[in-house]
C-alpha cells in the first residue's frame, strides 16, 4: 500500500520548532559545502536526528543521457555508494515524472516489485519515502529515505520532509552550477595549455602524447590517436597515446576507421552497448581492447580534411556532454595546427626553391647567355631553326642529336624561349658531368637523413623546373637503373624524393640532348627502348660544323655568340 501526498498533509503551523531549527541548520550547512559527497553525508547525518533514517538515496537526473546518477548512503557503515542506471520504472522515477511525494508504510505488504524496492528490502528497510527535488530551473532528481521501523514516515511528516527536499534541491542546484562552472574553467585552461603546446611544438607526432596527457587530466580518455597527413596523399601517419588500460591498437584498424570518417566527413561515435557496433571490423578491434565508447572526429582544414583524431574510454558512459564539447574543440585546435604546419611547409619549400633558382639564375648571368644569338646562313641551320620554331609552342618532348660542340644547349634554350614557359625556369643538368651516385639526388632531391651526408633536405632539379623546362644534356649517360624513374616522370609527371614515400607532382617540359646514338645503345641494352621512344617525340638533328663550312668560315667555332643583330634570330 502506498500513500501519496495531498490534502491530508498537516498544516505547516503545527510543525514543531525543533524541526524548523533543523531546516535552518540544514540550509546553513548546505551553504558551507562545496563538495557533493560531503554535503550528502552531512545532510543525512543531521536528518537522522529528527526522523527515523537508516538508508538515504539521492538520484540526480541526467537529461542528456536519460539516466539517473544514483547515490546511496547507509548510516550503519557511513558508506556512500554511487552508480549510474537507466530509468527502471522505480518509485523514484514515478516521483520524478509526477512531481509528487510517495510513502510506502510497509514494504512487506507492497505488491509492486521494482529493483529499487528490492534493494531496500535486502537492507531490512520496511518504510520508504521518495520526494521529488525541483527548483525554478527544472526537475533535478529524487530524494529517498528508508527506515526499518514500521510506519516511520506518515502524512504528518510530509510538510517537514518536503521542506528538507526543498533545501536539498537548492543545494543540489548550487553544487551542480558550481561544478559546471569549475569544469568549464578546467576545460578552458586545458584548451589554453594545448594551444600553447601546439604553438611551441613543430612536429605534431612528437607533441601529441603531451596533448593527450593534458586531456586525460579532465576527461576519461584511455586512447588518443592522431591519424594525419600534411599532403593531399594517402600516406597517413598514426600517433597513439594510450593509457596503461589499453594495449597498442593495430594501425590498419585506426586508418580504416579514419578513412570512413573522412569519406562521410562526419564524426563517428561507437560504444560497446550498440548491437551493430561490431559490424564494422575496425570498431570491433577497438572494442575488443576493452574500450567502452569513443569518437572519431575528422580534422577539417582550409584545404580539406587532413586526417582524424580518435578519443576512446574504458569507462561505461564515460564521456558526458561537456567532455564531448572539449574533445571537439581539441580537434579544431589540432586541425588548425595541421593547417599551419602545411602552410609552413609550403613556405619553406618555396623559400628553398627560390634560393636554388637564384643560384641557377646567377649561373645563367655569369655565362652571359642572356645576350646570345644564333647566327648562321647555311641551309642546314635554317632547317633546324624552322624545326625549333615549329615545336617550341607545342610543349612536346624534344630530343636534340648532334656531335659535341654543335650548339645543342643553344637550341634547347631557343625551344624554351619560344614556348609558353619562357617566363619560368630553364633548368639544365649535364648527366655526364655528375657522378652516378649523385645524379639521382640531383634530379629528384632527397630528404634529410636519406643517406650518409644528407644533413639537410634538398630540392631536386625536377622540382626547380616545375612550370618551366628541364634540359637533360648528355641524356645517353644516364645509368640504366635510373632510367625507369625518369620514364615515370615523362609518363605521369610525378616522382618521390630519395628517402621519402610522398609523391610529388610536377609540370615540366623535357628537352634532352646527346652526342651518342641512342638507337645503338637500345640494341646493346644500355638504354631502355620505352624511354628512348618517349624522348624521341620530336627529334632535332644538328649538322656537324664540317657540313656548314660557310658558317665556319665567317666565324670561329661551330656556333658564334654575339650581341649584334643577326639574320636568323629566335
Task: Name the residue ranges covered by the structural domains of the chain.
Answer: 3-180, 201-343, 367-554
> Residue 407 in contact with residue 542, Cβ under 8 Å?
yes
Q: What is the CATH number of domain 201-343?
A: 3.30.450.40
CA dist 75 and 97 (Å) reads: 28
Match 580537434 to its residue by C-alpha cell. Answer: 331
For the chain, the C-alpha Rg in angstroms (whole number) is: 41
The CATH number assigned to the domain with range 367-554 reads: 3.40.50.300
| Contact in structure between 222 and 247 (CB atoms under 8 Å) | no
Cβ–Cβ under 8 Å, residues 396 and 568 = no
Q: What is the pLDDT of residue 362?
A: 55
The residue assigned the cell 624521341 is 536
DSSP state of 538: E
Give the pLDDT confidence score for residue 486 in this predicted structure.
92
Instruction: Give CA–CA dist 537/398, Å, rounded.
Output: 6
Q: How many CA atoms lie within 13 A of 295 on its CB side?
A: 23
Tell which residue, 402, 382, 373, 374, has the closest CA to residue 539.
402
Write down the pLDDT at residue 305.
80
Q: Which residues, listed in sequence order, are joined to residue 539 by a DSSP beta bridge? A: 399
477: DSSP letter: G
Task: Tell me the pLDDT of the chain (570 aa) as tens digits.
Answer: 455 554 344 444 444 666 677 677 767 666 666 666 777 777 777 777 778 888 888 888 776 666 777 777 776 666 666 665 555 667 888 888 889 898 888 888 887 777 777 878 888 889 989 999 998 888 888 988 889 888 888 877 788 888 888 888 887 888 778 777 888 888 889 889 888 888 876 678 888 888 888 998 888 898 889 888 866 556 788 888 887 778 888 888 888 898 888 888 889 998 888 888 888 888 888 888 888 889 999 988 877 788 899 999 988 778 888 888 899 999 898 888 888 877 777 777 777 767 666 666 655 554 444 334 566 677 888 888 889 988 998 889 999 998 888 888 889 988 998 899 988 888 899 998 888 778 988 899 888 878 877 777 888 889 888 889 999 999 999 999 999 999 999 999 999 988 888 888 999 999 999 999 998 999 999 999 999 999 999 999 988 877 776 665 555 444 434 333 343 443
3-state helix, strand, coil in the chain (%, to 5): 45, 20, 35
Cell numbers linked to 391: 615545336
CA distance 40 to 80: 9
pLDDT of residue 8: 43
Ordered DSSP codes for 499-533: T---EEE---EEEEEESS-HHHHHHTTSS-HHHHH
The cell for 149 is 521501523
The reply to whether 201-343 shares the fold of 3-180 is: yes
Q: Residue 13's pLDDT is what?
A: 46
Question: What predicted TM-score, i.e. pTM, was given to this entire model?
Answer: 0.55
Length of the chain: 570
Superfamily of chain region 3-180? GAF domain (3.30.450.40)
Asked if 309 and 330 count as a contact pair (C-beta separation under 8 A), the reply is: yes
Backbone phi, then psi, for 213, in 5-degree steps? -65, -40
CA distance 228 to 212: 16
What residues does 81 pair with on adjacent strands? 72
With beta carbons less than 8 A apart as the criterion, state whether 342 and 259 touch. no
Bridge partners for 137 per DSSP: none
Residue pair 130/91 in contact (Cβ under 8 Å)? The answer is: yes
pLDDT for res 296? 92
**Those residues with Cβ within 8 angstroms of residue 148's Cβ, 6 or more apart along the chain or in another chain:** 52, 54, 124, 125, 126, 127
Q: What gap in Å lies between CA 557 and CA 560, rounded to an integer?
A: 6
Query: Are 236 and 258 in contact, with CB atoms under 8 Å apart?
Result: yes
Cα–Cα distances in Å, from 531 out to 166, 217, 402, 411, 468? 88, 60, 19, 22, 21
**What is the 3 state secondary structure string of 28-71?**
HHHHHCCCHHHHHHHHHHHHCCCCCCCEEEEEEEECCCCEEEEE
Torsion sign, CA atoms 168, 170, 173, 177:
negative
DSSP per position, 547-562 = G-HHHHHHSSSSS---
Say how far apart CA 69 and CA 66 lie, in whole Å.
10
Q: Which candidate, 438, 425, 454, places its Cα nearest to that of 359?
A: 425
Judged by DSSP in three states, 364 sits in: helix
Q: For residues 476 and 527, is the Cβ–Cβ distance under 8 A?
A: yes
Amino acid at each position: 500500500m502506498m500513500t501519496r501526498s495531498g490534502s491530508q498533509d498537516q498544516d505547516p503551523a503545527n510543525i514543531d520548532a525543533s524541526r524548523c531549527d533543523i531546516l535552518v541548520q540544514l540550509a546553513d550547512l548546505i551553504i558551507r559545502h562545496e563538495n557533493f559527497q560531503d554535503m550528502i553525508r552531512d545532510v543525512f547525518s543531521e536528518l537522522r536526528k529528527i526522523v527515523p533514517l537508516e538508508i538515504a538515496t539521492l538520484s540526480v537526473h541526467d537529461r542528456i543521457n536519460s539516466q539517473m546518477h544514483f547515490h546511496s548512503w547507509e548510516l550503519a557503515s557511513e558508506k556512500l555508494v554511487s552508480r549510474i542506471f537507466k530509468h527502471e520504472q522505480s518509485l523514484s522515477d514515478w516521483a520524478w515524472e509526477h512531481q509528487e511525494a510517495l510513502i510506502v508504510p510497509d514494504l512487506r505488504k507492497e505488491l509492486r516489485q521494482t529493483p529499487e524496492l528490492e534493494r531496500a528490502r535486502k537492507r531490512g528497510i520496511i518504510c520508504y519515502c521518495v520526494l521529488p527535488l525541483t527548483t525554478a530551473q527544472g526537475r533535478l532528481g529524487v530524494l529517498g529515505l528508508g527506515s526499518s521501523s514500521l510506519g516511520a514516515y506518515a502524512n504528518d511528516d510530509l510538510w517537514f520532509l518536503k521542506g528538507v527536499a526543498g533545501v536539498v534541491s537548492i543545494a543540489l542546484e548550487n553544487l551542480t552550477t558550481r561544478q559546471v562552472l569549475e569544469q568549464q574553467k578546467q576545460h578552458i585552461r586545458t584548451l589554453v595549455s594545448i594551444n600553447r603546446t601546439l604553438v611551441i611544438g613543430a612536429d605534431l607526432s612528437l607533441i601529441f602524447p603531451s596533448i593527450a596527457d593534458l586531456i586525460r587530466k579532465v576527461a576519461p580518455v584511455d586512447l588518443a590517436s592522431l591519424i594525419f597527413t600534411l599532403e593531399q596523399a594517402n600516406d597517413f601517419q598514426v600517433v597513439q597515446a594510450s593509457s596503461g588500460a589499453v594495449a597498442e591498437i593495430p594501425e590498419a584498424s585506426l586508418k580504416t576507421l579514419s578513412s570512413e570518417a573522412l569519406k562521410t566527413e562526419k564524426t563517428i561515435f561507437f560504444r560497446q552497448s550498440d548491437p551493430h557496433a561490431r559490424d564494422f571490423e575496425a570498431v570491433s578491434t577497438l572494442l575488443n581492447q576493452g574500450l567502452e565508447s569513443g569518437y572519431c572526429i575528422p580534422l577539417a582544414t582550409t584545404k580539406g580534411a587532413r586526417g582524424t583524431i580518435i578519443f576512446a574510454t574504458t569507462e561505461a558512459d564515460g564521456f558526458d556532454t561537456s567532455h564531448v564539447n572539449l574533445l571537439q574543440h581539441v580537434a579544431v585546435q589540432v586541425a588548425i595546427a595541421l593547417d599551419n604546419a602545411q602552410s609552413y611547409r609550403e613556405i619553406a619549400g618555396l623559400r628553398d626553391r627560390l634560393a636554388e633558382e637564384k643560384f641557377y639564375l646567377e649561373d645563367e648571368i655569369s655565362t652571359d647567355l642572356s645576350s646570345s644569338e644564333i647566327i648562321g646562313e647555311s641551309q642546314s641551320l635554317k632547317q633546324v631553326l624552322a624545326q625549333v620554331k615549329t615545336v617550341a609552342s607545342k610543349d612536346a618532348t624534344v630530343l636534340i642529336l648532334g656531335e659535341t660542340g654543335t650548339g645543342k644547349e643553344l637550341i634547347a634554350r631557343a625551344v624554351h624561349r619560344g614556348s609558353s614557359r619562357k617566363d619560368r625556369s630553364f633548368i639544365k643538368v649535364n648527366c655526364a658531368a655528375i657522378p652516378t651516385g649523385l645524379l639521382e639526388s640531383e634530379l629528384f632531391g632527397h630528404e634529410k637523413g636519406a643517406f650518409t651526408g644528407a644533413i639537410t633536405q634538398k630540392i631536386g632539379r625536377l622540382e626547380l623546373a616545375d612550370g618551366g623546362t628541364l634540359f637533360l644534356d648528355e641524356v645517353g649517360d644516364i645509368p640504366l637503373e635510373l632510367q625507369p624513374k625518369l620514364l615515370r616522370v615523362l609518363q605521369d609527371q610525378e616522382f618521390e624524393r630519395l628517402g621519402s614515400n610522398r609523391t610529388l607532382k610536377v609540370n615540366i617540359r623535357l628537352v634532352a640532348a646527346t652526342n651518342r646514338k641512342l638507337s645503338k645503345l637500345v640494341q646493346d641494352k644500355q638504354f631502355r627502348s620505352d624511354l628512348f621512344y618517349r624522348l624521341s617525340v620530336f627529334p632535332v638533328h644538328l649538322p656537324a660544323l664540317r657540313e656548314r663550312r660557310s658558317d665556319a668560315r665567317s666565324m670561329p667555332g661551330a656556333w658564334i655568340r654575339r650581341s649584334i643583330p643577326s639574320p636568323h634570330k629566335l
